[in-house]
Amino acid sequence: MVPGLAYFLLFQYGALFGSAIAFKEYVPFDGVWGSPWIGFENFQRMFGNAEFWDAVVNTLVISVLQLVFYFPVPLALALLLHSLTWSTVRRFVQSVAYLPHFISWVIVVALFQQMLGDTGLMNSFLGDAGLSTVDVIGNPDAFKPLVVAQVIWKDAGWGTIIFLAALTQVDEQLLEASAIDGAGPWRRFWHVTLPAIRPVVILLLIMRLGEILSVGFEQMLLQRDAVGPEAAEIIDTFVYYQGVVGGDYGFATAAGLFKGLMGALLVYAANKVAHRLGESGVYK
C-alpha cells in the first residue's frame, strides 16, 4: 500500500498545500515555499477582472446548455434501447453507441473538423445539393451548440448505462397488471415506468447541478484558438492561460482555488439535497 499512499500524499496533498501560492506572489527563483505572502491580493485582482467573469459566464452558459440539450438524450436513447425486444439488435446498437466514450477529445475534435469543417462532409453535401454551406468550425457564434453536439456524440451512448440499469428494475408484474387492465404503451410508460426511474433521473440531475462549474477542459482548450476566448474561455482555460501561458501563477491558482471551493460546496450541497429527497447520494 505504500506506493499508492505515497502518491496521494505527494501528488494530491503536496499539490493541495501548494495552493498556498494563491496567497503569494510567485517568484520563480524562490519556488512555491520561498515566495513572499501577499494575503488576498490575487483574489482581489481576480474579482475585479472582467475576463475572469466572462469565463465564469461562459462556463455557466455551456453547463446550462448541456443540461437542457444533452441531459435528456441518454434517457431517450435508453428508453428506445430498452423497448427493443430483439436482443441482437439492441446489443449491437449499444456496442456502437458506447464506443465514442473511449475516443480521446483530440480525436473527437479532429473528427468534427473533418465532418463539419468548411471542406468537410456536411458542406460538400450541402454544396452538391446547391445549398449554401454552413460555417460551423471556427465560428464563435456556432461554438456553443457545437460543443454540446460533441458532448452528445461522445457521451450520450455511455450515459444510457445507468438509465438502462434503472429500467431493468421496473416491476415487470406491475407492467403486466396494467396491460391487462387495458393501459396502452403510453399510459404504462407514464404511470409505471417513469415513476420507477424518477429517483435515478433526479439524482443524476442534482449531481450534474453540483458540477455546473466544470465543463470539458480538454475539449475547450483544444478549440479555444479556433474561435477565440470570447466564445470559448471557461474557468479552467482561464486558469491555464493566466498561469501556464502567462506565468502569473499566484493569480491563476487563486482562480483555480475559487472554482475548486465553489465546486466542492456545490457538490456537497447537491448531495445534501439528494439525501433530503431520500436518495443515497454519492457520499454517505
113 neighbors 120 (Cβ within 8 angstroms): yes
Among 252, 270, 274, 281, binds other proteins (CB under 8 A): 252
Among 61, 64, 68, 103, binds other proteins (CB under 8 A): 103
| Nearest-approach distance from CB 206 to other proteins, in angstroms | 15
| Nearest-approach distance from CB 9 to other proteins, in angstroms | 8
Task: Closer to other proteins by CB, 64 or 84: give it.
Answer: 84
Binding mask 190-229 for other proteins (x = CB under 8 A): ---------------------------xx--xx--x----
69 neighbors 152 (Cβ within 8 angstroms): yes
For residue 212, the one-letter residue type is I
CB crowding 260-274: b at 16 or more within 10 Å, else e: eeebeebbeebbebb
Among 102, 130, 132, 278, binds other proteins (CB under 8 A): 102
Helix, strand, or coil (residue 143): helix
Of 6, 46, 50, 53, residue with least CA distance to 23: 46
| Nearest-approach distance from CB 107 to other proteins, in angstroms | 6
Of 36-44, 46-54, 60-68, 259-267, the segment contacting other proteins by CB under 8 A is 259-267
For residue 53, the one-letter residue type is W
220 neighbors 234 (Cβ within 8 angstroms): yes
133 neighbors 117 (Cβ within 8 angstroms): no
Contacting other proteins within 12-41 (CB under 8 A): 12-19, 21, 31-32
Contacting other proteins within 134-193 (CB under 8 A): 153, 157, 161-162, 165, 172, 175-176, 179-180, 184-185
Helix, strand, or coil (residue 24): strand
Q: By CB under 8 A, is residue 47 in contact with other proteins?
A: no
| Nearest-approach distance from CB 170 to other proteins, in angstroms | 12
> Cα(133)–Cα(119) distance, rounded to whole angstroms?
10
Task: Closer to other proteins by CB, 64 or 72: give it.
Answer: 72
For the residues of 221-255, what is the DSSP string, one character each? HHHHHHH-HHHH--HHHHHHIIIIIT--HHHHHHH
Task: Closer to other proteins by CB, 60 or 221: give it.
Answer: 221
Of 234, 241, 252, residue with least CA distance to 54: 234
> Cα(231)–Cα(117) distance, rounded to whole angstroms?
18
| Nearest-approach distance from CB 54 to other proteins, in angstroms | 19
How many positions of this chain bind other proteins (CB under 8 A)?
Answer: 87
| Nearest-approach distance from CB 215 to other proteins, in angstroms | 15
Task: Closer to other proteins by CB, 44 or 119: give it.
Answer: 119
Binding mask 48-77 for other proteins (x = CB under 8 A): -----------------------------x
Element (H, E) at 185: helix 185-188
